[in-house]
Structure 1
């Protein structure tokens, strides 16, 4: 994670941070960065506050605090990547750094349970927040397919239960979860962790898929 954040910092180092940002002249006026907490600034940055350059200058800080603290909202922070023409149109170095960051965050989430990744609580919240950044979340699902172990399996159970509970899981993630291979993976996890405290949740998710 440290290397991914370093690369983001290098990629956006050419955008100097300003102490005072221009706000909407009709509703905000000038905004002092020091006078605002990062959460409130993130809500308006790139919209009613700041230019595209200001947004990019603060992205390294926002992306770092998203995974190291709990004051920022994933939908808000990752949503900033859809501004300024959308990150897929940004220079190659910026795109590569952001892609590396997103992949690293995703792998970090899957690697442990609970995720312990700042404002990104679990796999479901990451996929929901990342969905507007891509045509689909297949990139992350392929990584999940290739990541065995108890932690990713427990996240998988949560994803299925979140979907059944109506949590807004992306459609392609739902289609992926409904595949026989995922159902079989959950069954194997139930057998493997039969005596574990979390076996009941694995079994619940498997039962949901088996009933489809």
Structure 2
């Protein structure tokens, strides 16, 4: 099945899960610092900065979530870490299971779609670190996404891996779980095999550079 269709099905599942929260045309602002906001006349990026905080409440977050998740994969107008970072603030792991499952399904599907093509074609998820940083903003363990990456043996997934390694700040002492995973021997060996497989390609040097960085 086409990846774009799979994402469309995941979004349809999200819309069904949150259909019980109709969108309100006007969201109440904090009585101390914000006026009411007309959703249709408001910039979505600006709205995500305050949604559920100084504008609207958890009901409004849920009502707008299908639209925001759709825009994340259809455009570059939103920041994934801001949108997905709303979830822990709204205690999303206490939501009904159907709602949690729909969000989990969306994230899994988007991640697989991102890894399947190089360069990525997933809207605001510009690269693998952007996606994983957004997931980390939910307070969730990124381990399951790293497992998916480990079990996606394709040239596109390997090129994403090389980019991530080449973008590492090796002098940093504050290593995330993602950084630690990238620095492992398994990843170094995978990059070596990717270089051997694609040695005649224009991107083989990316694999070689990443491999050399991990040898230091």
- What TM-score, normalized to structure 1? 0.94
Give the gaps of 5 or more residues in structure 1: none
Aligned twin of 1:128 = 133
3-state SS in 2 of match to 1:164: coil
Q: Look up the match of 2:183.
A: 178
| Residues 46 and 55 in structure 1, CA contact (< 8 A), matched pair in contact too | yes
Aligned residues: 210
Counterpart position of 1:148: 153
The Cα shift of 1:175 comes to 1.8
User: Which residue, 21, 43, 65 being the options, matches 2:27?
Assistant: 21
| C-alpha distance 169-146 of structure 1, shift in aligned 2 (>3 A) | farther
Name the structure 1 match of 2:65.
Answer: 59
**Paired residues of 2:155 and 2:194 also in contact (CA < 8 A):** yes
Secondary structure of 2:126 counterpart: coil
Does the Cα contact within 8 Å between 1:65 and 1:72 map onto a contact in 2? yes
Q: How many Å apart are 1:193 and its aligned residue?
A: 1.1
Structure-1 separation of matches of 2:93 and 2:113: 23
Q: Which residue of 2 aligns with 1:189?
A: 194
**After superposition, what is the alpha-carbon deviation per residue over 1:19-60, rounded to whole angstroms, capped at 9, x for unaligned?**
000001122121111221111111111111001101100000
Q: For 1:95 and 1:135, locate their aligned partners in 2 and report how far apart those are by CA, in whole Å.
A: 12
Runs of 4+ residues over 4 Å off in structure 1: 165-170
Provide, for residues 147-199 of structure 1, a one-character-per-residue CA deviation record: whole Å limited to 9, x for no partner.
01110000001111222367999611122122221111000011111111111
**Of the candidates 102, 110, 121, which is equivalent to residue 115 of structure 2?**
110
What's the Cα RMSD here?
A: 1.7
Which stretch shifts more, 192-201 or 151-160?
Answer: 192-201
Q: Contact 1:128 / 1:170 at 8 angstroms: preserved in 2?
A: no
* d(CA) in 1 for partners of 2:172, 2:8: 31
**1-side partners of 2:116 and 2:54: how far apart?**
37
TM-score under structure 2 normalisation?
A: 0.92
- 1:124·1:169 contact (CA, 8 Å) conserved in 2? no
